[in-house]
């Protein structure tokens, strides 16, 4: 679960809000009920004070056992009277208790089991939702899903290279689906190559959607934007740059539009170091580019290309620009 601090903070805030809301609503119900049924308030106070009375009995000495039994019976009688009183007045028996969204962790996000603390499923779910919201600010995540990816945009005619684009893209789609469904933090990487408008960004975001839904931390950056972040860090050295901390640590890094950044020694070396550090740590990266392997070698280095060749799976995108096809319909 490698999420940004912002995501953790947002998820924690959401749970706190749930907890406070449940508490406040319970307080309001309590006030209203005690106004209608003063006996209910007496009973609740009585139940709450039996613990104190029990402690006094122990300190006071005397026949402690007998006194404790009497207090316990009195407590149980009051509890039962309160339940009956509430029920006969049309309330649920637990109406005075806060109604937490998650009963398991009482909206704290953590559960204790056998003396150990675990992250509750509801916090995992909330983290994934917050990560989606954050990613959605930089990419059209909700629009780019496997369901909205259609292979009938690709030609069913066999090309000069002997390949039928539609059949080929059906295989690419299938591979991306299985990649997302089986994603693990040590999964291999993908290199999506092909001309503009063929669905590279669409499919990488579809993978992001699914991987986030499965509870992993995903960072999506374009090559120009990540270079801009490295430049910013040069100017503001010493300040924390969360995105740059996250790109090396997140479960899945997606680098879009590799090759469209302004190229100089600075950008080339930072791109190389970033990809190389992910590969060395066996952390997956998905790269999309309009460049072919030869151009990648010219722009970066054959060191990078040979690393990519050995460690990531190449997916070629074929066909005609779908942006144009979509405009026509």
Ligand X SMILES: Nc1ncnc2c1ncn2[C@@H]1O[C@H](COP(=O)(O)OP(=O)(O)OP(=O)(O)O)[C@@H](O)[C@H]1O
Q: Per CB under 6 A, which region of 6-14, 21-29, 144-152, 233-241 contacts ligand X? A: 144-152
Does position 126 interact with Mg ion (CB under 5 A)? The reply is no
Q: How far is the CB of 319 from Mg ion (least distance, A)?
A: 14
Does position 322 interact with ligand X (CB under 6 A)? The reply is yes
Does position 201 interact with Mg ion (CB under 5 A)? The reply is yes
CB atoms within 10 A of CB 151: 18
Q: Which is nearer to Zn ion, 15 or 312 (CB)?
A: 15
Binds 217: which of Mg ion, ligand X, Zn ion, none (CB < 5-8 Å by kind): none
Residue whose entry in the numeric block shows the structure tokens 């460690």? 311
Choose which of 4, 75, 201, 209 interacts with ligand X (CB under 6 A).
201
* Contact string (CB under 6 A) for ligand X, positions 226-265, x = contact: -------------------------------x--------
**Per-residue 3-state assignment (H helix, E strand, C coil) for the chain:** CCCCHHHHHHHHHHHHHHHHHHHHHHHHHHHHHHHHCHHHHHHHHHHHHHHHHHHHHHHHCCCHHHHHHHHHHHHHHHHHHHHHHHHHCCCCCCCCCCCCCCCCCCCCCEEEECCEEEECHHHHHHHHHHHHHHHHCCCCCCCCCCCCCCHHHCCCCCCCCCCCHHHHHHHHHHHHHHHHHCCCCCCCEEEEEECCCCCHHHHHHHHHHHHHHCCCCEEEEEHHHHHHHHHHHHHCCCCCCHHHHHHHHCCEEEEEEECCCCCCHHHHHHHHHHHHHHHHCCCCEEEEECCCHHHHHHHCCHHHHHHHHHHEEEEEECCCCHHHHHHHC
Does position 222 interact with Mg ion (CB under 5 A)? The reply is no
Binds 144: which of Mg ion, Zn ion, ligand X, none (CB < 5-8 Å by kind): ligand X
Q: Which is nearer to Zn ion, 69 or 97 (CB)?
A: 97
Residues binding Zn ion (CB under 5 A): 102, 104-105, 120, 122
Does position 290 interact with ligand X (CB under 6 A)? The reply is yes
Q: Which is nearer to Mg ion, 75 or 201 (CB)?
A: 201
Does position 209 interact with Mg ion (CB under 5 A)? The reply is no
Choose which of 3, 100, 153, 300 interacts with ligand X (CB under 6 A).
153
Binds 102: which of ligand X, Mg ion, Zn ion, none (CB < 5-8 Å by kind): Zn ion
Residues forming the site for Mg ion (CB under 5 A): 201
Residues forming the site for ligand X (CB under 6 A): 144, 148-150, 153, 196-202, 257, 288, 290, 317, 322-323, 326
């Amino acid at each position: 679960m490698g999420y940004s601090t912002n995501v953790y903070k947002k998820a924690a805030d959401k749970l706190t809000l749930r907890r406070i809301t449940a508490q406040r609503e319970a307080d309001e119900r309590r006030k209203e009920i005690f106004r209608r049924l003063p006996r209910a308030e007496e009973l609740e106070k009585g139940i709450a004070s039996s613990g104190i009375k029990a402690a006094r009995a122990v300190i006071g000495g005397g026949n402690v056992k007998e006194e404790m039994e009497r207090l316990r019976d009195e407590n149980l009688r009051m509890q039962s009277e309160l339940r009956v009183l509430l029920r006969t007045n049309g309330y649920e028996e637990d109406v005075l208790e806060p109604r937490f969204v998650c009963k398991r962790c009482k909206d704290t996000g953590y559960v204790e089991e056998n003396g150990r603390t675990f992250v509750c499923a509801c916090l995992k779910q909330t983290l994934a939702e917050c990560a989606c919201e954050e990613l959605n600010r930089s990419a059209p995540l909700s629009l780019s899903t496997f369901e909205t990816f259609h292979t009938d945009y690709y030609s069913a005619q066999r090309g000069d290279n002997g390949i039928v684009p539609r059949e080929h893209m059906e295989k690419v789609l299938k591979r991306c689906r299985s990649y997302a469904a089986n994603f693990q933090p040590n999964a291999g990487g993908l290199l999506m190559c092909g001309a503009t408008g063929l669905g590279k960004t669409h499919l990488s975001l579809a993978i992001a959607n699914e991987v986030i839904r499965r509870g992993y931390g995903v960072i999506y950056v374009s090559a120009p934007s990540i270079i801009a972040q490295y430049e910013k860090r040069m100017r503001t050295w010493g300040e924390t740059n969360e995105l740059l901390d996250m790109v090396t640590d997140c479960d899945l890094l997606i680098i879009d539009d590799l090759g469209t950044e302004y190229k100089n020694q600075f950008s080339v070396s930072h791109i190389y170091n970033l990809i190389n550090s992910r590969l060395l740590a066996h952390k997956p990266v998905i790269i999309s580019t309009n460049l072919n392997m030869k151009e990648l070698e010219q722009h970066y280095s054959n060191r990078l290309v040979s690393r990519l060749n050995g460690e990531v799976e190449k997916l070629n995108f074929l066909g005609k620009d779908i942006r144009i096809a979509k405009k026509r319909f």
